[in-house]
């Protein structure tokens, strides 16, 4: 079985609004093991709306969430790694959380929909990502045609503007299947080599992955699942039917993650899969 790295995962905590949070987390890990996921790179967005809005989490909620996520990643290492999630509206807090998170082992920065991504407020965060040598996973709505309640969503055009200002930073464009017009996203980001796209989201349109491959190529695509593994499994099963080569499939499933994240991040997670798949970190 080809090893898989889920670059866009989430877990719940005792502070969230799910009483079954432990069962949810255990089911994700168990289901991931069954489909070949060797590592979940995950974040927690504040209290998931329990005590502050999901996309506009308070500094206290986000610090608590990052603490839990970093602790969980340490407990579950090497099959879980942490993004440090921040709300860009609190720039000083965000920068302090990034420094603290990276020092504790976070391997990237998660930005949701707290501020339009081409806003100058994000420049300091993008610069910090380059300084620490970690990528940014940015929540994206595919072709934002209007404002949506309770979020300040962005699309690929807006992410391209930030990427152009920060060519040394790698940006993961989240969930091409996450809503909206995915066909609009491909030409918007094609020229920006520092933007890669994850395949997650509940949208599983036929041709979606095929078109992404045609526009940006396999080295700029990463398999991911986001909130639930079921739609991720559908895309995993669809990948061989895109006509992608074995090398392309390996790139999308795990090798691109190895290239994008800090050196050695997935060495331990991949070591168990190496003998059967040729996977090396």
Q: What is the pLDDT of residues 162-171, one digit of tens each?
A: 999 999 999 9
- pLDDT tens digits, 126-164: 999 999 999 999 999 988 888 888 899 999 999 999 999
CA distance 194 to 268: 26
Q: What is the pLDDT of residues 230-264, one digit of tens each?
A: 999 999 999 999 999 999 999 999 999 999 999 99
- Angle formed at CA 56 by CA 50 and CA 58, multiple of 5 degrees: 70
- Summarize pLDDT for 192-224 with one digit per residue, the tens: 999 999 999 988 888 999 999 999 999 999 999
Residue with tokens 């992955």: 209
Measure the CA–CA gap between 84 and 97, rounded to whole angstroms.
Answer: 7
Q: Domains in the chain, please, with CATH?
A: 4-275 (3.20.20.140)
| Predicted pLDDT at 131 | 98
Distances, alpha carbon 72 to alpha carbons 32, 78, 172, 190, 227, in Å: 16, 11, 23, 36, 17
Residue 62, CA distances (Å) to 48, 113, 191, 230 in order: 10, 14, 34, 27
| 90-121 pLDDT per residue, tens | 999 999 999 999 999 999 999 999 999 999 99
């Amino acid at each position: 079985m080809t090893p898989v790295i889920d670059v866009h995962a989430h877990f719940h905590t005792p502070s969230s609004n799910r009483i079954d949070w432990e069962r949810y987390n255990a089911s994700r890990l168990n289901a991931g093991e069954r489909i070949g996921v060797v590592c979940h790179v995950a974040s927690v967005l504040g209290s998931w709306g329990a005590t502050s809005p999901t996309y506009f989490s308070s500094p206290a909620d986000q610090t608590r969430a990052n603490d839990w996520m970093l602790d969980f990643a340490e407990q579950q290492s090497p099959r879980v790694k942490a993004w440090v999630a921040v709300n860009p509206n609190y720039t000083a807090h965000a920068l302090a959380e990034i420094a603290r998170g990276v020092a504790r082992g976070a391997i990237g920065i998660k930005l949701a929909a707290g501020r339009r991504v081409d806003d100058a407020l994000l420049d300091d965060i993008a610069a910090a990502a380059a300084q620490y040598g970690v990528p940014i996973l940015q929540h994206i709505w595919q072709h934002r045609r209007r404002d949506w309640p309770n979020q300040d969503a962005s699309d690929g055009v807006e992410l391209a503007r930030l990427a152009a200002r920060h060519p040394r930073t790698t940006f993961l464009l989240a969930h091409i299947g996450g809503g909206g017009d995915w066909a609009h996203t491909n030409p918007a980001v094609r020229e920006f080599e520092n933007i890669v796209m994850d395949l997650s989201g509940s949208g599983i349109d036929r041709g979606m992955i095929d078109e992404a491959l045609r526009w940006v190529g396999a080295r700029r695509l990463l398999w991911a699942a986001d909130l639930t593994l079921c739609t991720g499994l559908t895309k995993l099963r669809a990948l061989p039917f895109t006509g992608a080569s074995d090398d392309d499939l390996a790139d999308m499933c795990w090798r691109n993650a190895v290239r994008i994240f800090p050196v050695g991040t997935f060495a331990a997670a991949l070591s168990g899969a190496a003998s059967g798949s040729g996977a090396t970190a």
